[in-house]
Chains A and B, each alone.
Chain A
Amino acid sequence: KNEVEQSPQNLTAQEGEFITINCSYSVGISALHWLQQHPGGGIVSLFMLSSGKKKHGRLIATINIQEKHSSLHITASHPRDSAVYICAVIKGGGSNYKLTFGKGTLLTVNP
C-alpha cells in the first residue's frame, strides 16, 4: 500500500461545479504539497502547507495533521482546471527529507 493515497483516481465534472480531491497519508510528515500537471506535462506547485488552510484564487487546500488528511477544493470549476492533481508528502526537513507522491487524480471539467 502506497504511503500516500489519493481519491478519486478520476473525476469528471461540469463547468461551475465544486470539486474536492482527497489525500490521505500513513506517515508523519513535515509538510504537504499539492501539484498540478497539465496535459502538456508541465508540473506546477499549487500549495505547500503544514497546517490549517491556504487559498489561492478558486483553489483552497486544507490539511488535518491529526487525521493525516488533506483536501484540495476548486470552486466554480472551469475546463482549464482539467489536469492531474498530485499530492506529495514531505518527511524530514532541510536538505535531509523524503518526498513521496500520490498517484494523482485526473480531473476533467466539461463545458
Chain B
Amino acid sequence: DTAVSQTPKYLVTQMGNDKSIKCEQNLGHDTMYWYKQDSKKFLKIMFSYNNKELIINETVPNRFSPKSPDKAHLNLHINSLELGDSAVYFCASSLTGASWNSPLHFGNGTRLTVT
C-alpha cells in the first residue's frame, strides 16, 4: 500500500534513447510533481500538475514531457537522452499545491544512468 510509487527504481540506457518513468499516488492528492536530484544531491523542481493541469514547468528542456492521464498518475517521458540527464528523479504529491498545511509525499526515486 505504497503511497507514492515510481517505476522503475533503476534505469540504465544509452544516449539518444527515449525512456519513461511512471508515478502513481494512492493518497487522493490533487497535485503531483517531478523533481530532479543531481550528482551533488541538489533537488530542483521540474514540473507540477494540479488535477491533470500543468502548473509549473521550470526551464526544463522540451525533451522532457510530463503526462498526467488522471490526477493519480504523472509520468515523465524523456526523448533523446543525454549524459547530463543522469540523475535521480523523484515524484511527489500533495493534497493541494504546496502550502503550510499540505506536506509533500515522495516516491523512492528513479536512478537514471545514461551511458
Contacts and interface: CB of A to CB of B under 8 A. Distances in A.
A30 B111 CA distance: 31
B43 A94 contact: no
Interface string B25-60: 000001100000000111111001010000110000
A31 B44 contact: no
B41 A84 contact: yes
Interface residues of B, number: 29
A48 B48 CA distance: 19
Contact of A103 (B30, B40, B104): B40
9 contacts: A33-B104, A35-B104, A35-B106, A43-B92, A48-B103, A90-B100, A94-B96, A95-B96, A99-B98
B19 interface: no
Chain A, interface residues (CB within 8 Å), range: 20 to 34
Contacts of B105: 45
Interface in B81-110: 88, 90, 92, 96-106, 108-109
Contact of A98 (B41, B45, B96, B102): B45
Interface of A: 30-31, 33, 35, 37, 40-45, 48-50, 84, 86, 88, 90, 93-99, 101, 103-104
B100 A50 contact: yes
Contacts of B41: 37, 84, 103-104
A44 B55 contact: no
Contacts of B48: 95
A36 to B, nearest CB: 10
A95 B90 contact: no
B33 to A, nearest CB: 8
A101 B88 contact: no
